[in-house]
Amino acid sequence: MNDKHTATEVEREPTQIYLISPLDVGGAFPARLVRALDAAPVAAFQYRVKGLDQHEAARLAEPLQTICADRDVAFIVNDSISLAKRIGADGVHLGQEDGTVEEARNVLGRDAQVGITCHASRHLAMEAGDAGADYVAFGAFFPTTTKQVKVTADVGLLEWWQSLFEIPCVAIGGITPQNCAPLISAGADFLAVSGAVWNGDESAAVQEFHRAITAHWPD
């Protein structure tokens, strides 16, 4: 996901979709993932499951990982460095209590994508960047039912980050095709989306996000 070099040398690429799984990834979900990924370009898929032992989590991940690999979509594991290692994921997304960038690099190797949740904190984001994270995630920007919201972020945070740093930033939290325009304009490199896709027609939703990005990307 990190394809930028310096803020001044490389013109920023258009915002991309970072798709996060629902908690239930069994049953017909692999077919839904195919529909979503085939609807419009998606940069990454985050595998986010809770309350499963690692064996079951790995079993459920296998077909999803194949679907992503066939479409050149990065497969990122949420929270668990050990699960990411076990299944050979492209990377891991870590909360503030899930481990460090250094720990992830030691286990997964230098080529793994490592993202860090930074909530609305400039300090945490700068620390993550200094530690060598491939991207930082800010949010929540809007109310969401996907997870409990403890911190609300402002679009000014994205503008500040883009003005100073080369590391990509991800906007997360309650993002829909209808409310994402300010995030795109402010400089979000990726829109992390979940409920807005999986709570309805996933193909139509991904297409709507793609149209919103195209419409609101600054010239």
Q: What is the pLDDT of residues 89-105, one digit of tens each?
A: 999 999 999 999 999 99
- The owner of tokens 């945490």 is 124
SS3 content of the chain, % helix, strand, coil (to 5): 40, 15, 45
Structural element, H or E, at residue 182: helix 181-186
**For residue 10, with 0-12 CB atoms within 10 Å meaning exposed, 13-18 middle and 19 or more buried, which class applies?**
exposed
pTM of the entire structure?
0.93
* C-alpha span between 14 and 3 (Å, rounded): 12
* C-alpha span between 173 and 190 (Å, rounded): 12
Cβ 137 vs Cβ 153: under 8 Å: no
Residue 8's contacts (CB-CB under 8 Å, 6 or more residues apart) are: none
**Architecture of the domain defined by 16-113+176-216:** Alpha-Beta Barrel (3.20)
For every one of its 219 residues, what pLDDT tens digit does the chain have, with 9 covering 90 and above?
654 444 444 577 899 999 999 999 999 999 999 999 999 999 999 999 999 999 999 999 999 999 999 999 999 999 999 999 999 999 999 999 999 999 999 999 999 999 999 999 999 999 999 999 999 999 999 988 777 777 899 999 999 999 999 999 999 999 999 999 999 999 999 999 999 999 999 999 999 999 999 998 776
